[in-house]
Amino acid sequence: MKHSYKITGMSCNGCRTKVETTLNAISGVEAIVTLEPAVAQITMEKHIPTSQIQEALTKAGNYTIEMENSNDTINETMENPKEKSCCCNNKK
């Protein structure tokens, strides 16, 4: 199964690499992530819930994932959104 997902929270190639590496670490997932547009093309051996993918991305940083062309963002922090940051920026 191949799916296209919108990724938010990436601001540089370091973020893109982190997201791609995180997605590819999920068993049964092969992902290609682009920064412009911020999209992940994910091929799955079997169905993996978007919530499981979001959990992995949340551990990696302030990234969110949603099905492309969907208004339903899978993000537990939507009620209290965090400031957008770059994985390469150590300043707060």
pLDDT of residue 87: 72
pLDDT of residue 7: 97
Q: In this structure, are residues 25 and 56 in contact, taking their beta carbons and an 8 Å threshold?
A: yes
Residue 22 lies in a domain: yes
3-state secondary structure the chain: CEEEEEEECCCCHHHHHHHHHHHHCCCCEEEEEECCCCEEEEEECCCCCHHHHHHHHHHHCCCEEEECCCCCCECCCCCCCCCCCCCCCCCC
What is the total count of domains within the chain?
A: 1
Q: Is the pLDDT of residue 75 over 50?
A: no
How high is the pLDDT of residue 68? 80
Is residue 74 domain-resident? Answer: no
Per-residue pLDDT of 14-27, as tens digits, reads 999 999 999 999 99
**How far is 1 from 17, CA to CA, in rounded Å?**
22
In a domain, 72, yes or no: no
| Residue-range definition of the domain harbouring residue 59 | 2-67
Q: Can you give the CATH number for the domain in which 15 is found?
A: 3.30.70.100
Residue 87 falls within a domain, yes or no?
no
The verdict on residue 31 lying in a domain is yes
Check whether 74 has a pLDDT greater than 70.
Answer: no
pTM, entire model: 0.77
Res. 72: pLDDT tops 60 = no
